[in-house]
Amino acid sequence: MAVPDFQSLMLPLLKFSSDKKEHSIREAIGHLADEFGLTEDDKNELLPSGNQSILANRVGWSRTHLKKAGLLESKKRGYFNITNRGLEVLDQNPAKINNNFLKQFPGFIEFRTGSKEKKAVTTDISKENFTPEETLEYSYQNLRDDLALDLISSIKSCSPDFFEKLVVDLLLNMGYGGSRKDAGEAIGKSGDEGIDGIIKEDKLGLDTIYIQAKRWENTVSRPEIQKFAGALQGQKAKKGVFITTSSFSNGAKDYAAIIESRVVLIDGERLAQLMIDYDIGVSKIKSYEVKKIDTDYFTEY
């Protein structure tokens, strides 16, 4: 099954701590993974940023919400135990514990609203099943995906010459090609048997990468990759990059994976994501810093 949302983890987490012992977050993650029958893939699934597993993030925020409501407490970093209030709640045998249930506790209201004076939460937080990191990261990913679609649309409306320039700019920003002059001279001058350009792999020019750029609508199939691979062999080249605004067929991907030459396939979706990562055709409008407590600062020796 998929990883439960952090609210669904609240009651199981509180029950896990009902033995009144101090437990680590790591213990809780392992216990809840077993209780919900999660697979290794479920346990290893990461947030979009790749910095933390979804399971660890949700268990952590479940604990935080229970702590703010006074049902759990932490006496040292990374550990927690149940409180008398938490035991009282379990004695009530609740069917579930979620944000709506926790609104009865003033500490939780203060946590959610940031104000001691507010006694009610205007939004229906019981429907919020994402942790704050998930909300931020999935919102960011949605913005990236929308931007990627706009980029591909813009690329398809530009000229072939502009597309070649775009490819040069991207590879240069990724660290290839040496100087802009060298790259500019290489791209577009080859035209040999399916090769659109050549660019240095590094600033010293120790190796070269051959490029094929297709501003296509249709799927790139195996014959196109075979033609490109043949061109590489004709040049005694070992490395190539095939870039398209569309996609590759499974046959094309399978063929690229078995040939002797190293051929990297970049489809439209990946091209757009790389352009975003390396600031090609996009500009920053706003940035946010997400910070956490520096526990070392508060450590007294």
Q: Which token pair is 106?
A: 């003033």
The mean pLDDT value of the chain amounts to 85
The CATH classification of domain 157-277, taken from the options 3.40.640.10, 3.60.70.12, 1.10.730.10, 3.40.1350.10? 3.40.1350.10
Is 70 exceeded by the pLDDT of residue 180?
A: no
Give pairs for 286-295: CB < 8 Å, separation 24+: 290/133, 290/136, 295/77
Is 80 exceeded by the pLDDT of residue 195?
A: no
What confidence category does residue 11 fall into, taking pLDDT thresholds of 50, 70 and 90? very high
Quick one: pLDDT at residue 193?
53
279: which residues sit within 8 A by CB, 6+ positions away? 173
Taking a C-beta distance cutoff of 8 angstroms, is the pair 121, 103 a contact?
yes
230: which residues sit within 8 A by CB, 6+ positions away? 193, 194
Name the helix (H) or strand (E) containing 81.
strand 79-82
Taking a C-beta distance cutoff of 8 angstroms, is the pair 87, 18 a contact?
yes
Every domain of the chain and the residues it spans: 10-129, 157-277
Q: Which token pair is 265?
A: 């396939």
Distance CA(164)–CA(173), nearest Å, equals 14
What confidence category does residue 117 fall into, taking pLDDT thresholds of 50, 70 and 90? very low
What confidence category does residue 73 fall into, taking pLDDT thresholds of 50, 70 and 90? very high
Quick one: pLDDT at residue 122?
38
The CATH classification of domain 10-129, taken from the options 1.10.3470, 1.25.40, 1.10.10, 1.20.5? 1.10.10
Helix then strand count (H, E) for the chain reads 13, 7
pLDDT digits (tens, 9 = 90+) for 40-60: 999 999 988 788 899 999 999
Quick one: pLDDT at residue 245?
92
Is 90 exceeded by the pLDDT of residue 33?
A: yes
DSSP bridge pairs for 199 = 209
